Structure 1
Amino acid sequence: MAMDDRLAELNPKPRTCVVFGGRGFLGRSLVLRLLKLGKWIVRVADSTQSLHLDPSERDSLLSQALSSGLASLHGVDVRDKSQIITAIEGSSVVFYFDGADLRTDNFYHCYTIVVQGAKNVISACRECKVRRLIYNSSADVVFDGSHDINNGDESLPYPWKFDDMLSDFKAQAEALVLRCNDIDGLLTCALRPSNVFGHGDSHLVPFLVNLAKSGWGKFIIGSGENTSDFTYAENVTHAHICAEEALDNRMVAAAGKAFFITNLEPANFWEFVTLILEGLGYQRPLVKVPAKMAWYILLFFKLMTEKYGLIKHNHSMSAHYIQLASHTRTFDCTAARNQIGYSPVVSLQEGVTLTIESFSHLAKYSSFTSYSDFNEQSKVEKLLGSGEVADILLWRDEKKSFTYFLALNLLFYWFFLCGRTFASSVSKLLLLVSFGLYGYGILPPKILGLTVKSLSLSCFEIPEMVVKDMIATLAYLWNRGVCYMRRLAQGDDWDIFFKFAASLYFLKLISSQALTVVIGVALVFAFTLFFIYEQYESEIDGFVKLLFNSIMSVFGSLRTNVPASVQHFLENHGIWRHGKGHATITHPK
């Protein structure tokens, strides 16, 4: 009998726990960790549409636990208290995670899920005599969006005003959970993880990838020197286990308290972002943008979206991201270490590596996306020739593109805006180059320990083959021009006529003051329109297609009002072609 007692102590009867939000990002991680411990019967509670298992989970630990009865799935709407009671009745512990995919644009929906849901869970736990309730809160509940937090501890108060609606609701739910501690025998605590990431993340990593794809990931918001605490998902679930054990032992110091949870490795925010993006094959953030400018850009996007619906906002910066990216947020986890026995089980570097591996399907050059999105050249890149010009105009290398843009603007000012004639501008430019080369030539071999490289004469020599190619090109252009003049004189080639007319109009611009405006506008547009078109290619193509179809429909409606003699003339010259029920404009032959 003594041997049986010892075996019973070594293999106690499994206790029952409930994980609300058990099919969400952190909920899944906690469910797997509880099942691995082997001493829990786990009830996975979530919205009905989230309960189905993914194909990758068919032979998983959860699938085996469902078959053996160590786990069960429960469809629960936390807005319905009766459904909560059905799920938790007979359990001793409840882990509560808010809905993972909340509609943050719907105030009422968020409130009923987060705040009213917390009230219903608390009330149901008291009625069903549940012994412990652990709420997954967030470090955002003490962040007001405008002030840095340096090694903040649990003494930080809730802000008077939140800029983020979801953080406001989380703070209310957390306060409700902590306030009901030790009422009807229910012990509670709340955990505040900071910037959670990891396998299955549906917020931070996908958001950064979307930024990189949209082009906004190239920008550093603020000074780029701000530090933040990040928390790997498995460390968060480990903290929940630690909190449950502390409450199970009825540690007074843990009950009714909130605890910050981090990896205990504060890191530069932008270095962390760089590790994620470069690990997935995207360009690291390089260009610093003031936080206020980022706010103005965000407001512009919101205005265009709300009033005109012209710009999709889902890939642009969010207000909460701007706040996180431009402020320092580090937290002191001493209370969690001393009172619930928490310490990270996965280091930050290991967590980043595991996260990158788990998101390989989102990598820029993954087998899934390489042929559909990234390796395939965009239309504008093909138009520009896919060479160095395309790289410069599409800002593949910001420093190089900016250098060319600045140099071209200086040349534009020198030749067109300074008020001199073209010949005078050329002569003065050559004079400055001559003085510069002469001054460089008389410099000593070393200046303050730095070696000055001398310019060899070969730098100014033009190879004979290059000269021959230039002469051959000029001869080809001359002969081609003569050929065009002959075809134009025959009077039967409309394409040549239009090209010749356009060339004459361009020569007219050269002889007028409008050329300065045209070149200036073209210079700015070359470095902006190509880049913008590549980012929003599908939207612009859709608008152009819609405009073209509208014009064609107008021509079709006007067809019946065109005199028969005019129709006959246009058809004979190939400009107007009849179709079934519509008319088409064609290029003359």
Structure 2
Amino acid sequence: MADSEKQIRSLGHVLVTGGSGFLGHHIVSLLSSRKACSKLTVLDLKPPAKPVAGVNYEQGDLTDYVAMLKFFGKHKFDGVIHTASPLMTASSNRDLAYKVNVEGTKNMIRVAQETGVKAFVYTSSASVIHDTTSDLINANETYPLIMGKEQPEYYTTTKAQAEMHVLASNRSPSHPKLLTTAIRPSAMFGEGDVQLIPPGLSAYYRGQTKFQIGDNENLFDFTEITNVAHAHHLALAALMATREREDGGLAAPLNHEKVDGEAFFITNDAPVYFFDFARMCWAAAGDKTTPAQVWVLSKDFGLFIATLMEWIFFLFRLGKPNLTRREVRYTCMTRYYNIDKAKRRLGYRPLVKLDEGIRKGVADALYRGVVVGQPPELKGKKIQ
């Protein structure tokens, strides 16, 4: 099926959980602009910063099964895109991560099954196959999930557990009509970003662009947020098309075509050397540093400095240091993915290129004034 056919296919009444958040807002905006749904509803704990016209926004707690059953029963959703999740930080609250990511997702699946939802798309993470230290080179969906003791990031374990439940619920014996799939985006950035571009830009305003940790020979996948939203649309459309075919008595997709019960990595299909991405962001903000001016520090030295800073900041209760061991590891690792499966089965292709996404993302972060150390006069100022 061509992308254009998927885009004009009505998805019916669609619910986007976490629709006031970074990814959720972009999914809602995209579906609305494409007129892809007969009705679009958002469920979130907080109201949207910028509501999308014509979208029904409701506040609620997805971990409350009784409330969710009533909510789903009232609206009769055809499809669900489940993006809601607490922010991942180095000090993520374990109880909250489990309650929302695992128990909340199980609630969503249960009420979707019990109220006749046809299709369920779950936002997973590309990190579910990563142990935070090993290199990932052209990794694909055949790689095993890494959880528990092998997974240093508990938050990632909860995302993997939720993904397993979602995919196991596809065509379950008790509710064979619900089709599910999981989207695994890698390092999302773009307009509205709070986790990737703003902290990176703060290094520029702290005068740290002349330092590089590692040899910068490690490729990394960063993904512009519009592309991730596009992939969610394609996935939901594919599930709906499968449900429609089967309800019409036609054959189910063949194994090499199927989307339901499957996970898909999503990237910009353009891995870039880690510090090259950072320098592109800094340059978009006005940095003029040349390669000849850069001091290259080894990974081991970077880890030593980060360890020292963490101890000092901990002992004197100074908060989070400018450099942590976790950040050094991520800065120096190779991590990129093969998205052939998404290309073949979803018809996915990135819509926004890396350089365009960086330019827009940097301008947006400075306009919002969310970069620590940025000149105050840049807030609210449009950058061409």
State the TM-score bracket (shorter-chain normalisation).
0.7 to 0.9
Structure 1 residue 366 displacement after superposition: 5.5
CA positional deviation for 1:300? 2.6
1:126-137 counterparts in 2 under 5 A?
Answer: 126-137=113-124
Instruction: Name the larger-Rg structure.
Output: 1
- Quick check: 1:157 aligned with 2:144? yes
Q: Tell me the residue number matched to 1:166.
A: 155
Give 1:146's aligned residue.
133
Aligned residue in 1 for 2:314: 306
Correspondence 1:331-342 to 2 at 5 A: 331-342=337-348
SS of residue matched to 2:152 = coil
Tell me how far apart the structure 1 counterparts of residues 219 and 88 of structure 2 sit (CA, whole Å): 28
- Specify the code of the residue in structure 2 equivalent to 1:368: E
Given candidates 11, 16, 20, the residue that maps to 1:19 is: 16
2:9 and 2:93 mapped to 1: Cα distance? Answer: 46
The answer to whether the 8 Å contact 2:86/2:96 transfers is no
Deviation at 1:237, TM superposition (A): 0.4
CA contact (8 A) 2:310 2:324 kept: no
- Determine the structure 2 residue equivalent to 1:31: 28
Partner residue in 2 for 1:72 = 56
Determine if the alignment matches structure 1 residue 353 to structure 2 residue 359: yes
Q: Is the 8 A contact 1:21 1:97 kept in 2?
A: yes
Q: Deviation at 1:165? A: 2.2
Q: Does 1:175 align with 2:130?
A: no
Q: Of residues 98, 102, 107 in structure 1, which corresponds to 2:84?
A: 98
- The answer to whether the aligner puts 1:221 opposite 2:213 as a matched pair is yes
Equivalent residue letter for 1:114:
N
- 3-state SS of the aligned residue for 1:270? helix
Is the partner of 2:377 in helix, strand or coil?
coil
Provide the aligned length of Structure 1 versus Structure 2: 344
Percent identity, please. 28
Corresponding residue number in structure 1 for 2:377: 368
Q: Which residue identity is paired with 1:76? A: G
After superposition, where does 1:254-265 map in structure 2 within 5 Å? 254-265=259-270
TM-score (norm 2): 0.82
Alignment-derived partner of residue 295 in structure 2: 287
Please, which moves more after superposition, 16-25 or 82-91? 82-91
Deviations 1:368-391 (CA, angstroms, capped at 9, x unpaired): 259xxxxxxxxxxxxxxxxxxxxx
Q: Secondary structure at the residue paired with 1:368?
A: helix
What does 1:477-516 correspond to in 2, within 5 Å? none
* Matched AA of 1:92: D
Pick aligned residue for 1:276 from 281, 290, 299: 281
| Distance in 1 (alpha carbons) for counterparts of 2:151 and 2:299 | 18
Query: In the alignment, residue 316 of structure 2 is paired with which amino acid?
Result: Y
Q: Which AA in structure 2 matches 1:270?
A: F
TM-score normalised per structure 1 = 0.55
The alignment partner of 1:359 has SS state of helix
- Partner of 2:347: helix, strand, or coil? coil
Q: Give the structure with the larger helix fraction.
A: 1
Equivalent position amino acid for 1:245 in 2: A
Deviations 1:88-144 (A, max 9, x none): 330011101132535644211221111221111111111112111101111111111
**Greater displacement, 213-222 / 332-341:** 213-222
Root mean square deviation, CA, Å: 2.4
Q: Which amino acid aligns with 2:15?
A: V
* Structure 1 residue 13 displacement after superposition: 7.4
Distance in 2 (alpha carbons) for counterparts of 1:73 and 1:358: 24
* Residues 106-121 of structure 1 mapped to structure 2, 5 A cutoff: 106-121=93-108
Q: Does the aligned pair in 2 maintain the 1:111–1:169 contact within 8 Å?
A: yes
Structure 1 residue ranges without an equivalent (≥5) = 1-10, 66-70, 371-589
